Structure 1
Amino acid sequence: MGEKEYLVLYPVPSLLAILLNRERAKGSPLTEAEVSEIRDNCETIAVPIDVAREMDEQRGYLDIDPENCWHEWQRTRKDLMEG
């Protein structure tokens, strides 16, 4: 199977945007359980990997990897707060 046929799950809107909005609405940091629940229940589409790369380019950033969601969210939160 070529790269164009390989499908990946792609959160729409981005997982980063969802987590950021949920945390702002909550008014305090999300817990690991909350982050996992959001990840597990967010809307996703299956797209070929080349389409996912194009969507990343259009967004202007790489989304959080759902497989490493908690750790990437913690790092991203820190970067957003410092920047």
Structure 2
Amino acid sequence: MDPQSDDDLVITPIPALSLILLNLEKQKGSPLTEDEVVAARDSAVCMTVSRKVHDAMQESRGYRDLDLENVWEDWLGFRAWMAQAEQ
């Protein structure tokens, strides 16, 4: 049995970063700034899981979480998707 390589591991915010940001935005009462989104990402509780577990978590939730490397752009896209879904 081969040990997992680091390439098979994914840093995963718990709970999903998109939920964290939605709650922060609701508390603030206005859209988050890029600095606020990055700060929330940087302070989020995360765990490292295998790619298989990460993919299963996203599938069970019904959507993919935000890309941590491109969090601002992904957040803007997620907000637009949420706004469309509410219509």
Q: TM-score, normalization: structure 1?
A: 0.91
**Equivalence for 1:53:** 55
Mapped partners of 2:14, 2:43: distance in 1: 12
Structure 1, unaligned runs of 5 or more: none
Q: Alpha-carbon deviation of 1:82?
A: 2.3
Q: Alpha-carbon deviation of 1:7?
A: 1.1
Mapped partners of 2:20, 2:82: distance in 1: 14
Q: Once the two structures are aligned, what percentage of the paired residues are identical?
A: 43
Relative contact order, higher structure (CA 8 A, sep 6+): 1
Task: Tell me which stretches of 4 or more aligned residues in structure 1 moved more than 6 Å.
Answer: none
What's the C-alpha RMSD, in Å, of the aligned pairs?
A: 1.4
- Equivalent pairs counted in the alignment come to 81
Mapped partners of 1:10, 1:78: distance in 2: 23
- Give a deviation string over 1:45-66, Cα, whole Å, max 9, x none: 0001111011111111100101
